[in-house]
């Protein structure tokens, strides 16, 4: 028997490196903090309900599917993130705050390299989501 060839870091997806447990912990921790914020909290409270009950377990499961796909892991996510941000009454200040919480939470759960990649991914999605968020709603 030959020994298995160890996976080199660059052959692993971001999802492999982060793992399911840490991704879940990241999402619950992040939204727990977001819900304490005066600007972001009420928007989620109105849509998803009181944290950590209400629609939160379902919402986090959907977000997990989304992030698994973005991180090149196995995922059954088939949602549409853009339209989900329409008619929320949010603007650039909400995205600034969201990204500040994301940046603050990532290093508490992930290693620096993975934290940086996850931050960059969200930053790249922002313009598209913000475009939907700002779309006129006759």
- Binding residues vs ligand HEM (CB under 6 A): 40, 43-44, 47, 62-63, 66, 79-81, 84-85, 88, 90, 94-95, 98, 122, 125-126, 129
Q: Smallest Cα–Cα separation from 18: which of 66, 68, 63? A: 68
Q: Which is nearer to ligand HEM, 17 or 82 (CB)?
A: 82
Q: What tokens were used for 64?
A: 């997990």
Q: Considering the complex, what minimum distance in angstroms separates the CB of residue 137 from ligand HEM?
A: 14
Instruction: Say if residue 30 is exposed, middle or buried (CB neighbours under 10 Å; 0-12, 13-18, 19+).
Output: buried
Q: Considering the complex, what minimum distance in angstroms separates the CB of residue 99 from ligand HEM?
A: 6
Tell me the angle at which helices 56-70 and 20-34 cross, rounded to the nearest 10 degrees: 130
Give the residue nearest to ligand HEM (CB): 79
Q: Considering the complex, what minimum distance in angstroms separates the CB of residue 39 from ligand HEM?
A: 8
Q: Which is nearer to ligand HEM, 22 or 81 (CB)?
A: 81
Q: Considering the complex, what minimum distance in angstroms separates the CB of residue 7 from ligand HEM?
A: 28
The conformation of residue 2, written as its DSSP 8-state character, comes to P
CA distance 40 to 93: 10
């Amino acid at each position: 028997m030959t020994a298995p060839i160890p996976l080199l870091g660059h052959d692993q997806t971001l999802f492999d490196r982060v793992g399911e447990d840490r991704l879940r912990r990241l999402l619950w921790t992040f939204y727990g903090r977001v819900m304490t914020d005066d600007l972001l909290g009420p928007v989620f409270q109105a849509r998803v309900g009181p944290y950590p009950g209400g629609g939160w377990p379902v919402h986090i499961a959907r977000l997990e599917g989304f992030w698994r796909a973005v991180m090149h892991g196995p995922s059954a996510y088939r949602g549409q993130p853009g339209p989900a941000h329409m008619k929320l009454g949010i603007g650039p200040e909400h995205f600034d705050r969201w990204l500040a919480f994301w940046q603050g939470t990532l290093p508490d759960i992930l290693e620096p390299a993975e934290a940086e990649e996850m931050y960059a991914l969200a930053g790249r999605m922002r313009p598209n989501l913000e475009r939907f968020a700002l779309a006129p709603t006759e």
